[in-house]
Chain A
Amino acid sequence: MIYDVIIIGGGVTGCCIARTLSKYDLKICLLEKEAEIASGTTKANSGVIHAGYASPREYVKRHLCIKGNKLYTQAAEELNFPFERIGSFVVALEDNQIKQLEDDRKKGIEDGIPGLEVILDKNQIKQMEPNLTDEVVGVLHAPSAGLASPYELTFALAENAVMNGVKFFRNHEVVKIKHQDYTFTVRTYQGEFQGRNLINAAGLYAARISNMLGLDYFSIMPRKGEYILFDRNAIQLNKILFPIPTKVSKGILVCPTLHGNTFIGPNAQNITDREDISTTTAGLKEILEGGMKLVPNIPARSSIRNFAGLRAVPDTYDFIIDNTDVYGFINVAGILSPGLTATFAIAEKVIEFLELLGLELKVKEDYNPVRPKPERFKDFTKEELDKKIQEDPAWARIICRCETIPEKEIINAIHASVGANTIDGIKFRCRPGMGRCQGGFCRPRVIEILSRELNKPYEEITKRGEDTNVLVVKTKDLILKDVLRGASE
């Protein structure tokens, strides 16, 4: 079989391209090296849907961000992922910073960002966000900024893509690519795939993929951002709060999540290891201090988790979305922030390139853009819940107590298209292990369900994929081995 389009990388970029392309009558597949999609940068980022005033005008990312932000409204309706425009503040703490706010506002309005306003009235500001520091002198308010859950979005994109015929292959790391007679032969450890067009959305590894075809016109540097997440009851913010940006990043923000938690971060640290998502003492201290500048009463004691994400920073500091010199090979690389915001605009851009390459884009008759909302215990009224439980008692067996997640939601997550097959996969799809106990209670039960539904023994259930086995041996095995060794000696 020869695919029309092969996409490498199952982050938000790859999945969004897959879903957008799935509208057309094409044979498409997506290859992802990890056991789950949304395992790379897409898993750990701020999830802010930026308004788009932040990058300078000469960058592509500014324009795709502004466009992408607007596309979220329809996408959220079709794909039913958590998304809310709660608005953001850029917070000036000194009078001389107001000029920059005014500048950003003016250019932003000119470029079509809706509703941007500079607010200098402290009472009004504090009314909109009571947790903000008293030191505030003014804010740039962007009402179109919002929050999305990046991995829930990615799962939704993938599910909808599968509904419309895209094939997903996980645990398929691309290791070699050949290009001959207008056909790409893409080799993975699990077999070869052939396609006419190839899209590189491999995130931190995009330069490596590009190199496989002899192209080396850009490089990608990993830049780490660390976060601290706080318990749901710790503090309630109304707005996404940014400091005045620095040269390297938008600075350390204090931000609510769609699930009622609060996080602070990220910092920005250039590193060399593309897998290094470890957090550091110095980093955690830095973000806590940074966050306190905006919200002095951050309840440091109610942190429930810290984590880090890696930005794929290209040497151009801008998105690299190119029809390359290799015919049919499109790079979608260096998708740093605001890549999540821009994602729908990026996908449209890729389609334009494919069209330029002569790919025939005929809309399928049975294309269905709607991914139904996953059913959640918490969304049901008492009456609906009662009915659901009558239909399937698995709705009544609560697995995650912190987030009230019943067995049924987990089973659904496993059997969804591109469904969960690891503990982390379950956690990112339906949140057991995300709550206060961080898996203390639910993990053994999640393992039990995965083992049963996937028909795999306990020992083969992993946290994230290969090499992360959770359970090592049965009790008595170690002792028995000693006894047996003793007997044979």
Chain B
Amino acid sequence: MTQIRLHVNNQAINAISPISIAELVALNQLGSEGTAIACNNTIISKQEWATTYLKDNDSLDVFTLVAGG
């Protein structure tokens, strides 16, 4: 267990490694309907959130998908 620093939507947060995206989302209530997440500028499919573990200095972008036109 080590402390790592993550950047979520450009805000620094501390977390205890190992931590997956799914765990981070649950801990920080990041997810809601239509939430998509990119880690280091690559979108991570929601089904891979639980198996994608975060490293020190990883940068996450959490945003909501829209479908209107």
* A, B co-complexed: no
Q: Which residues of chain B have a CB within 8 Å of any CB of chain A?
A: none
